[in-house]
Amino acid sequence: MAARRETGWTYPLALPPAMPAPAGTLASLRRKAGRCRACPLWQQATRTVFGVGAPDADMMLVGEQPGDREDLAGKPFVGPAGALLDRALAAAGLDRGQLYVTNAVKHFKFGLHGKRRLNQRANAREQAICRQWLAAELREVRPTRVLALGAMAAKAAFGPAFRLTAQHGQWLPLPGGVWGMATWHPSAILRSPGERERRLAELTGDLQRFAAGPAR
Ligand code: URA
């Protein structure tokens, strides 16, 4: 498949990448991202976790960054957060086959606690550098709806002032005719036992609204 032409495409997110989106098809971008050395995160990661799913999906889900299990498998959302996401997707009548699922950052960042590799958040510079890959995925897939999972992806989509607590589940217009929404990250739900049921219900409700599409 030839790379889609840039003509007529507008980068839809509020925060731009720190470097231009590489050219190429999804398959070649995946290969190039596998060799990415643009920030130091590749050094400790096992592999680059590029997006997966329908190459012409109407709906794109953007998570934060891969965790331990994703780093080993090379696929987004295959660990506990992915299991919870699948549960909520099923409850909302969505399945991964109709989606393109990716992350804002493509390498696992962690600190060692004994033998355990515990997630560390990619910093703003690492996020900005890595956004070149998300920009390229958006350009190739051209979704009309983007769902940000968690604050990192939400702020990339809607800007630093975005607040998940107040604004999750709201449809917001993005440049280029794309519609965006943000919702709770499944990992955040797993980490907050006291609020788990309420937030899971909110995630499911937001996914239902996302599946239904914006009222135009
Ligand atoms: N959390 C994410 O944001 N993405 C993954 O792929 C896994 C966990």
The per-residue pLDDT for 110 is 97
Q: pLDDT by residue (tens digit) across 89-125?
A: 999 999 999 999 999 999 999 999 999 999 999 999 9
Q: pLDDT by residue (tens digit) across 21-46?
A: 999 999 999 999 999 999 999 999 99
**Measured in angstroms, how far is the CA atom of residue 8 from the centroid of ligand 1?**
31
The per-residue pLDDT for 127 is 98
State the SS3 of the chain: CCCCCCCCCCCCCCCCCCCCCCCCCHHHHHHHHCCCCCCHHHHCCCCCCCCEECCCCCEEEEECCCCHHHHHHCCCCCCHHHHHHHHHHHHCCCCHHHEEEEECCCCCCEEEECCEEEECCCCHHHHHHHHHHHHHHHHHHCCCEEEEECHHHHHHHHCCCCCHHHHCCCCEEEHHHEEEEEECCHHHHHCCHHHHHHHHHHHHHHHHHHHHCCCC
Q: Is 71 in the pocket of ligand 1 (CB under 6 A)?
A: no
User: Is the residue at 5 inside a domain?
Assistant: no
- Over residues 44-71, the mean pLDDT reads 98
Tell me the CATH number at 175: 3.40.470.10
The per-residue pLDDT for 215 is 85
- How many domains does the chain contain in total? 1
State the residue range of the domain holding 40.
26-210
Assess whether pLDDT exceeds 80 at residue 2. no
Report pTM: 0.96
Which atom of ligand 1 lies closest to the CA of 69? 7
Assess whether pLDDT exceeds 60 at residue 85. yes
**Measured in angstroms, how far is the CA atom of residue 7 from the centroid of ligand 1?**
32
Confidence band for 1, pLDDT divided at 50, 70 and 90: very low
Q: pLDDT by residue (tens digit) across 122-136?
A: 999 999 999 999 999
Measured by CA distance, the residue closest to atom 3 of ligand 1 is 64
Q: Is 76 in the pocket of ligand 1 (CB under 6 A)?
A: yes
User: Is the residue at 118 inside a domain?
Assistant: yes
User: Is the residue at 13 inside a domain?
Assistant: no
Q: Is 81 in the pocket of ligand 1 (CB under 6 A)?
A: yes
Q: pLDDT by residue (tens digit) across 121-179?
A: 999 999 999 999 999 999 999 999 999 999 999 999 999 999 999 999 999 999 999 99
